[in-house]
Amino acid sequence: MREVGIIGAGMVPFGKYPQRTLAEIAWPAVKAALEDANVPKRDIGAAYCGTALGGMMSGQRILKTLGITGLPIVNIENACSSSSTAFREAWISVAAGIYDVVLVIGVEKLTKFGGGTLPLEKEDFEVAHGLVMPALYAMRAQRYMHEYGLTENHLAKVSVKARAHGQYNPDAQMRETTTVEAVKSSRLVADPLRLFHCCPSGDGAAAVVICAADKLAHYGGVPIRVIGSEINSGKYMTGFRDMTSPEITLRGAAQLYEESGIGPSDIDLAEVHDAFSIAELLYYEALGFCNKGEAGRMIDQEETFVGGKIPVNPSGGLLSKGHPIGATGVAQIVEVVRQLRGHCGSRQVEGAKVGMTHCTGGGISGFDHGVCSIHLFAR
């Protein structure tokens, strides 16, 4: 396997673009990534496009706007992990020596559904009976609060942190800061989760260019190295699964740490899948940033704020940055690239050398999550 580096990154501010097509939303992110990489379009060996609900031929629709056609374009659907999966597949193709330079796109336009909870697969039995994503996370939260003494204040503080970070991210959808009191008085969505505990719905796109290490000299610049890549599907469980313990993230993190030789204490920042405030807390534990039951203490002591022991979601995370689902995986990677380059201004994690992205996707019966992909990067 060859070493692989990221040489270009770009994204558009997440928000609501109902009047723009998917392609119109995405092309500026692709162009920004290519210009950042200093890669002429003829050098792109292949493109991988992750989108969950973008529809057929999303990659071709986007890339024709920039005249990047005639190359292999692969469209990938894996729920909220669509573009982290696309990145993983792109990485494999370059590491294996199939291509030297590959473009990865994540894109979604959720405004076309008119707002509300994420549309899930109606053939699923639990979805047909009224399971929605906020309810699933809310039931995790209820059980975790019961077993480990987590409070509404702990949950609220995750949202406060997200907005505190996101205020400094020009690409974030929700940039106003908030308070524990404001979070606790926002409207109920699925008890105990309130509106500010839930990531905003919207549109967006992000793109990166990756390159084989032995071809980097063609393009100049300092690459961000891919030092770990992992993907798993969830385990289907018909019995009594422990909803306080995200099994797929636990399993994936253990595998990634073993394969990469990197441990949780080596990580300077992490972009994790905080679709709801409770999720981020569960992932502190599953990713090994603290022990089981300690997530509440960790947020209380602000260990995951920028400036703390292990900053989590310096971008603002899904809670502040927004979650156009197929775009999220690559957008997380864009933030880690910017952090490791030291380009993040007031939200910069000082001296960051190793960063993680963690992206899950769920919404079907019998799984903790359907998919999870975790990556590690270093400068």
- Tell the smallest beta-carbon distance from residue 372 to other proteins (Å): 20
Which C-beta is closer to other proteins: that of 67 or that of 240?
240
Which C-beta is closer to other proteins: that of 46 or that of 120?
120
> 217: Cβ–Cβ under 8 A, 6 or more apart, which residues?
none
Rama region for 364: left / alpha / beta (φ>0; ψ in -120 to 50; rest) = beta
Instruction: Name which of residues 141 to 180 contact other proteins (CB under 8 A).
Output: 141-143, 146
Which C-beta is closer to other proteins: that of 61 or that of 194?
194
Instruction: Name which of residues 209 to 238 contact other proteins (CB under 8 A).
Output: 236, 238
Query: Which one of 1, 56, 70, 129 is in contact with other proteins (CB under 8 A)?
Result: 129
Instruction: Name which of residues 177 to 206 contact other proteins (CB under 8 A).
Output: 187-193
- Tell the smallest beta-carbon distance from residue 304 to other proteins (Å): 25
Stretch that binds other proteins, among 128-136, 205-213, 264-272, 284-292 (CB under 8 A): 128-136
Which C-beta is closer to other proteins: that of 189 or that of 224?
189
CA distances from 161 to 142, 147, 234, 263, 300 (A): 21, 24, 29, 24, 10
Cα dihedral value 269, 262, 81, 64, nearest 10: 80
Biggest CA pair distance of the chain:
57
Question: Which helix (H) or strand (E) is 27 found in, with range?
Answer: helix 22-37
* DSSP 8-state secondary structure symbol assigned to residue 345: G
Query: Which one of 135, 180, 213, 254 is in contact with other proteins (CB under 8 A)?
Result: 135
Query: Which one of 116, 220, 261, 351 is in contact with other proteins (CB under 8 A)?
Result: 116
Which C-beta is closer to other proteins: that of 194 or that of 338?
194
- Tell the smallest beta-carbon distance from residue 313 to other proteins (Å): 23
Query: Which one of 16, 140, 321, 338 is in contact with other proteins (CB under 8 A)?
Result: 140
DSSP of 128-162: HTT--HHHHHHHHHHHHHHHH---HHHHHHHHHHH
CA distance 29 to 203: 13
For position 263 contacting other proteins by CB under 8 A, the verdict is: no
Q: Provide φ and ψ at 175, rounded to 5°.
A: -110, 0
For position 132 contacting other proteins by CB under 8 A, the verdict is: yes
Query: Which one of 54, 134, 314, 361 is in contact with other proteins (CB under 8 A)?
Result: 134
Active-site residues, by number, are 80
> 220: Cβ–Cβ under 8 A, 6 or more apart, which residues?
38
Which C-beta is closer to other proteins: that of 201 or that of 348?
201
> 350: Cβ–Cβ under 8 A, 6 or more apart, which residues?
none
Which residues in this chain contact other proteins in the complex, by CB under 8 A?
Answer: 116-117, 119, 125-126, 128-132, 134-135, 138-143, 146, 187-193, 236, 238-241, 243, 365
